[in-house]
Structures are given as structure tokens and as C-alpha cells.
Amino acid sequence: MLPKFASVTARTKDEALSWLSSLENPKIIAGGTDLMVKMRAGKHYSHIIDVAGIPELLGVTEKDGRMSIGPAMTHARLSTEASIVRNARSLALACGLVGSPQIRNMGTIGGNLGNASPAADSIPPLLIHDAVLTLESRDARRKVPLEEAIVAPYVTSIDVKELIDSIEISPLRGYREGYRRVAKRATWAISRLGVAFAIREENGRFLDARLAIGSCTPMPFRAKKVEDLLKGAPKNEATISEAIRMALEEIKLISGIRPSYAYKLPVLQGILEEVLRG
């Protein structure tokens, strides 16, 4: 049983923005896979604005070397969208691992970001692709890097009157890219750990290595210090073990020691070894 609310279905972005600005205590719904669960547990909003069918919020486009993803794109569509598979393989893989087929048919990438779960599968891949959100309200439009948009577990800096207009990412070509995740069940389970990686190497050196880790810290994070270390470094065991040491240090710095780390850190170490060794 859901709490009482009024719901409207927006046909255009402008319509959605105008409702967002005028209606009291509004909340956007797209796939509903997170929001409906929260509302069933008692979370209350006065107005629900359905944006799932707005054509402007769908599709993937490429412009000036950047790609723009419509936030209402479902996980299912992104996981098979040719340009995403080609240019952001980790994102396609991660979207293909979210929930179950039904959840992937319903849930959207915008919703996954808006929900800002520490375990959201789409976030680590977006981080390594330098994702920037374009947020729009009736009166303003602004760009925020994804890293800044998520401010705490399940909390974003997106205003209640704002809508995610698009998610811009940098395509990565010539990278060995992927997404590894661990969960307690073969599928349809919350990630206990998620690692997005994109690595470019040449002549035994790392040219560029991008790593983002989810389900480990309060917010998925990109291991920038590790990336800096790897840039230009020779690909050998010494580099790899130093990079891993640094990654684990960084995590402990962010979160302190958590009981779950007895499991997660050794696993992360093993995954990073495999990822960096290729």
C-alpha cells in the first residue's frame, strides 16, 4: 500500500519542469524501481511526476567528442546500445548487471544516479568516463560533475525542483575496459563490490588507467591518486602492488576501518590484481 499522492505524467521536459516548480513536495519518477519501494516503506511525497516517456530525456547522442545520455534510458537499453557498448563498455556491462531483466527494463540511469546508492552499479563506470550532469529547473540550467552531484549515501545536490537533463560522458577508445562486481547471488543482488576500469597501455607502460570503486565507501569513488601513480609507470608487479596498496589506503582514509572490509579489501586486492595485470 502506497501513501497517498497525486501523480501526473509529463509529456515534455518543459511540462515536467513547470510542474516541478509549481507543485508542492514533488518527486520525479521514471522506472520507479527504487522510489516505489521507498514509498511502500512509508516515504511520502505530495506529487509524483512521471518523466519516463519524455522523448527529450531518451536516446544517446555524440557531439564534439562527448556523448550525451538521456536520463530516462533504461538499463536494458543502455546495456545493448551500440555506441555505449563501443565507447563505454564498463557502463554497458554494469547496466546489464543491475537487478533482474524486469528491473533493467524499468529502471533508468537517471533514477540510479538520483537514488545515489553506494552500491549503484552505473556510477563507477560513469565516474571513469568523467560524467557531468546537466541539471535543469524551470529557471536555470547548470552542469555538475557526477562526483560533486553525489554528496552522501542516498543524497545528491540535485534540487527538488531540478531534473537531470542529460548525462555527458567522454568516450574511451583504445582502452581495455570493463566492470567487475561481486554479489551474494549470481544475479539480482546488491553489489558487495563493484570495480569499473579502463586501461590503456603501450610498450609495457600504463598510459592511462582509470579506476572507480563502488559499494566500498559511502559513495562510489574514483581512485585518482592511484591513477596518477599508474600514469606512465612501467607495467610490472612493483607498480601493481604499489597501486593496490595505495587504493586500499585511500579507502581506509575515506571510511576508516569497517567490519565489512575484512571481506571487501582482500577481494578488492584480488580484483585489482587481475584488472591491472590484464
User: Judged by CB, which is closer to other proteins: 25, or 61?
Assistant: 25
The closest of 94, 146, 95, 141 to 116, measured between CA atoms, is 146
Minimum distance, C-beta of residue 17 to other proteins, in the bound complex (Å): 20
Among 23, 58, 151, 189, the residue binding other proteins under the rule CB under 8 A is 189
Q: Which of residues 201-240 bind other proteins (CB under 8 A)?
A: none
d(CA 126, CA 114): 13
Q: Which grid coordinates are listed for 220?
A: 562510489
Q: Which of residues 23-42 bind other proteins (CB under 8 A)?
A: 29, 31-33, 36-37, 39-40
Question: Any contact of residue 2 with other proteins (CB under 8 A)?
Answer: yes
Task: DSSP letter for 204, please.
Answer: T
The contact pattern for other proteins, residues 247-276, with x = CB under 8 A and - = no contact, is ---------------xx--xx--xx-xx--
Question: Any contact of residue 188 with other proteins (CB under 8 A)?
Answer: yes
User: Judged by CB, which is closer to other proteins: 63, or 184?
Assistant: 184
Within its chain, how far is the Cα of 28 from the centroid? 18
d(CA 234, CA 230): 8
Q: Which of residues 46-105 bind other proteins (CB under 8 A)?
A: 48, 50, 52, 76, 99-103, 105
Task: Give 167's strand partners.
Answer: 69, 133
User: Judged by CB, which is closer to other proteins: 132, or 193?
Assistant: 193
Question: Any contact of residue 199 with other proteins (CB under 8 A)?
Answer: no
Q: Are strands 66-69 and 132-136 parallel, antiparallel or unpaired?
A: unpaired
Residue 92 one-letter amino acid: A
Task: Give 8's strand partners.
Answer: 49
Q: Are strands 221-222 and 60-63 parallel, antiparallel or unpaired?
A: unpaired
Minimum distance, C-beta of residue 226 to other proteins, in the bound complex (Å): 19
The closest of 171, 221, 170 to 193, measured between CA atoms, is 221
Binding site for other proteins (CB under 8 A): 1-7, 9, 29, 31-33, 36-37, 39-40, 48, 50, 52, 76, 99-103, 105-106, 182-190, 192, 262-263, 266-267, 270-271, 273-274
